[in-house]
Amino acid sequence: MKILSVILARGGSKGIPSKNIVELNGKPLISYTIEASLQSNVDETWVSTDSSEIASVSSTYGASVIDRPSEISTDTSQSEEALLHAAHDSEFDVVVFIQPTSPLIKSEDINKGLKMMDKYDSVFSVTKEHWIPRWTMDVKPFEWEINNRPMRQDKPETYIENGAFYITKRKNLLESKLRYSGKIGVVEMPLSRSFQIDTLDDLNLINTIIRGNE
């Protein structure tokens, strides 16, 4: 069984300029997910990008590069478009889609998911959440009543996609055109490693976490 990882890294980030290669504790952001992939049981690690700068950095850290066409590298492009582009150009059995904005991922997270692929068609990373009262943006209770506030222990726990990685079989990806389909399982990761970098506040927070773990 051939296992391929694909890290999707567009060059056109707006929230944080050049986000995918922004410095995080002295290293480019994308290097963390590349290293996690290389240290895992994945056979080949690829970065799909439309940016020559990201391609150069990725190669430096040991990843191969897929040149992503500009028409599937826009702000409205879906990740599945780039995954399908990679799937049509490569022969493999299982693909691990890793998001470069999740630098706290570890190789053992990926390996845990890969071990599940004999039972599932797809798996993805999650973190467990206890119920908390949520409010809409116009300050109204979201899916609960203000005069009948539930006790936390009376509400079921739920899983939240933490966005770190998704694993699926190539045939399922080609047939469904989705990152997960068929029989789906989950890999639970601790909240402390489930943060994604989308804003400068996220970047500062994860910088602090990494330095605290050194």
> Strand, helix or coil at 137?
coil
**CB–CB of 116/123 below 8 Å?**
yes
Of 10, 134, 149, 211, the catalytic one is 149
Q: How many Å apart are CA 122 and CA 167, to the nearest integer?
A: 5
State the Cα–Cα distance between residues 130 and 203, nearest whole angstrom. Answer: 25
Helical (H) or strand (E) element with 47: strand 44-49
Question: What are residue 48's DSSP bridge partners?
Answer: 8, 66
* Residue 193 is a catalytic residue: no
DSSP letter at 133 equals -
> Among 76, 16, 11, 75, which residue's Cα sits nearest to residue 48?
11
Token digits of residue 202: 């996220």
- Left if phi > 0, otherwise alpha if psi is -120 to 50, otherwise beta: which for 182? left
CA distance 78 to 12: 14
Question: Would you say 195 and 204 are in contact if contact means Cβ atoms under 8 Å apart?
Answer: no
Catalytic residues, by residue number, are: 149
